[in-house]
Chain A
Amino acid sequence: MSNDWQFPIDREIKLYNRMDELHRLNEGLEVVGSEAGWPERAVLDLSLACEELVVNIVNYGFPSGGEHPIHVLIQASPNSVEVMIEDGGIPFNPLQEADPLALLDLELEDRPIGGLGIFFVKRLMDDIHYEYAEGLNRFRMRKQFGAADKNDQQLAGGHGR
């Protein structure tokens, strides 16, 4: 992980495994974003990546039910962010799922509902890492803002409607 001087903001958002916690997740990210001076779009992209991972944990992490914490740790600088998401649910490596590239070209009738969340995380973040240790799923991801996006298609896509 990184040195403190690179990330002046160090924040923890503690959530529970419920969908309504997405409000607090988003509020927390907006606060960090405004303190760090991120562009609005960077906050939305990070919000999407975090939501998809947290929703996965809420939906599949605790099949026997009950209330369980999900820790979201954010280290932020004006032009970069590192997020670590930890949960004590069943071991699940979201990166093992194959990208749904073949599905993207299917006709409406044949498109399955769902399966896009982790694909979004991979597309939006620069660097992602999963490990299971000491009974915890630990997902880490990193994003550099400002510089040219590795995702050329996103930039070229724009609003060409």
Chain B
Amino acid sequence: MNIQATEKNGVTIIPLEGRLDGSNATVAEQAFLQLLAEGKQQFIFDLSGLQYISSAGLRVILVAAKKLRASKGRMVCASLTEQVYDVFEMSGFTTILEMAATREEALEKISASA
């Protein structure tokens, strides 16, 4: 997975595309940790192009959420596709993570409470 993060209003947007599975979860985690190390604290994971996630992929999301909770940062998962939403729900992630229907809604959520 080639991850090209962008920034809008001080919020770092990480688009995840295709499949997030055991073969590329480490790449995605490293990309996030690199941005965190650069001092980024507000993130949107844009999942509109993510067709599939496995438990290895969920691990990346959970690591990010835990790190940002500890550092008083913020993250919102936006635009989940069907399989990804169902896996989040099976895992209880829909109740512990902040979610938004679109990237715009996610941006509004973050800026409303900034």
Give bound CA distance, A117 to B25, whole Å.
14
Closest CB pairs A-B (n = 8): A104-B92, A117-B55, A22-B23, A116-B55, A55-B22, A108-B96, A44-B83, A51-B54
The SS class assigned to the B binding surface is: helix
A48 close to chain B: CB less than 8 A: yes
- Taking CB atoms, residues of chain B closer than 8 Å to A161 are 80, 85, 99, 101
Whole-angstrom distance between the alpha carbons of A20 and B92 in the complex? 28
Q: How large is the interface on A (under 10, 10 to 19, 20 to 34, 35 or more residues)?
A: 35 or more
Which of B54, B69, B86 has a CB less than 8 Å from the CB of A108?
B69
A137 to chain B, nearest CB (A): 18
Cβ of A4 under 8 Å from chain B: no
**Interface contact A113-B63, CB-CB below 8 Å:** yes
Render A47-68 as a binary contact track against B, CB cut-off 8 A, 1 for contact. Answer: 1100110110010000000000
Per DSSP, chain A at the interface is: helix
Given A41-B82, A41-B83, A159-B85, A116 and B22 contact (CB-CB distance below 8 Å): no
Q: Name B96's contact: one of A26, A44, A111, A116 (CB within 8 Å).
A: A111
Chain A 103-120: CB-based contact to B (< 8 A → 1; otherwise 0)? 111111101011011011
Q: Give the distance to chain B from A145, nearest Cβ to Cβ, in Å.
A: 15
User: Contact: B22 with A48, CB < 8 Å?
Assistant: no
Once the chains are docked, how many angstroms separate the CA of A51 from the CA of B79? 24
Are the C-beta atoms of A120 and B87 separated by less than 8 Å?
yes
B114, CB-defined interface residue at 8 Å:
no
Q: By the criterion CB–CB under 8 Å, are B65 and A108 in contact?
A: yes
